[in-house]
Amino acid sequence: MMKSVVVLVASLLLSVSALANTDNNNEKKGKESKSVSLVENVNVFQLTGSVVDEKNNESLAGAAIVVDGKKYYSDLDGNFSIKDVKPGKYELVVELISYEPVSMQVDLMKNEKIKIGLLQK
């Protein structure tokens, strides 16, 4: 009987201290995220476009668009959308199986819509 009371009291103390510790961590996280959001205030744009077959102008689904080391894919209609892109010059590489890869420069100063044509190998 005495053992179970001691175990009960010990577990109660541990759970109370764990809750107090969680509250302190949440307060720290809240303060950290506020300071980060105040520092980051940069204009961002959206780069959208479509990937088509150069000869017959048909949409190409599943084309890989690589921008700044990140890979995006065209949807079933050949369209793609890359959000939250900072202003500047970027090299786009577009690849699709059985097509020649295309590399192009984009100077993003506003929201852009581009059309990319690929040639079959």
Chain segment 35-67, per-residue pLDDT in tens = 555 555 568 899 999 999 999 999 999 999 999
Measured in whole angstroms, the distance separating CA 38 from the mean position of its chain's CA atoms is: 20
Q: Is the per-residue pLDDT at 8 higher than 50?
A: no
**Tokens linked to 98:** 């059985």
SS3 36: helix
Q: Does an H or E element contain 13, and which?
A: helix 2-39
This prediction has a pTM of: 0.63
Q: What is the mean pLDDT of residues 94-108?
A: 95
Asked if residue 102 lies in contact with residue 60, where contact means CB atoms within 8 angstroms, the answer is no
CB-CB neighbours of 60 under 10 Å:
19
Q: Is 29 left (phi over 0), alpha (psi -120 to 50) or beta?
A: alpha
